[in-house]
Amino acid sequence: MKRLIVGSVALPLIAGPNDSLLGITLVGNKSGTALSVPMQIVLLLTILTLLPAIIMSVTPFLRIVVVLHFLRQALGTQTTPSNQVLVGLALFLSLVIIQPVAEQIYHQSWEPLDTGQIGASEAWDHASAPVHGFLLRFAREKDIRLFMELSHAPPPANPSGVPFSALVPAYVLSELKTAFQIGAILFLPFLIIDLLVASVTLSVGMVQLPPVMVSAPFKILLFVLVDGWNLVIGSLIRSFY
């Protein structure tokens, strides 16, 4: 094989099946060729870097965490519950909702790939189908059409033909709209309490304390009496079924 001599180092110009070009090549094994260990590490680190963004964007985590932040603002409790608590709650609720899709991916894609029945490309196709169906259920047609036009892609013949490049941002926009709608509904009863307390405090001339501080205990008491956490979390989970 031809080599390029740079100083005292000989670099291969053409990498064969078992050659290494900067440590990243295809190496031979019993089933053909596979990625070398350095390349596998690079891909794994890349996936791990993108994993938080994927979890926050293409799972129910997005809708849940936005609604929980709206709820905290409506209650006027500032930093209670803390961001860590809200994120942890949203994460575990997302796992509950996404569990059927994850099981479907495991049985249709990972198990056949692990036993050698299918290859990596077929495993990707089997895994992407449930994810595509899940995103398509909650992405609005208007948002999908917008990103299809922005990407200048031809219109698909059927919903299953919508590419991920248009489906994922459409899903994010749709979830943001849904979360803001739910947040606005959550704000209304607490806004009424704020207006009532503000009108009463101003009519009696109580200007020493801000109305928000006076109304906070009443909002928290109302939320506890109606078992607000149960209602909010139950409604959020049901909105995905």
Mean pLDDT, rounded, for 88-92: 89
d(CA 126, CA 112): 10
Is the model's pLDDT at 11 over the cut of 60? no
Positive or negative torsion for Cα 65, 67, 70, 71: negative
pLDDT reported for residue 239: 85
pLDDT reported for residue 34: 54
> If pLDDT is split at 50, 70 and 90, which confidence band does 5 have?
very low
d(CA 101, CA 80): 32
Is the model's pLDDT at 117 over the cut of 60? yes
pTM: 0.74
Residue 35, beta-bridge partner list: 26
Average pLDDT, the chain: 78
Mean pLDDT, rounded, for 92-107: 86
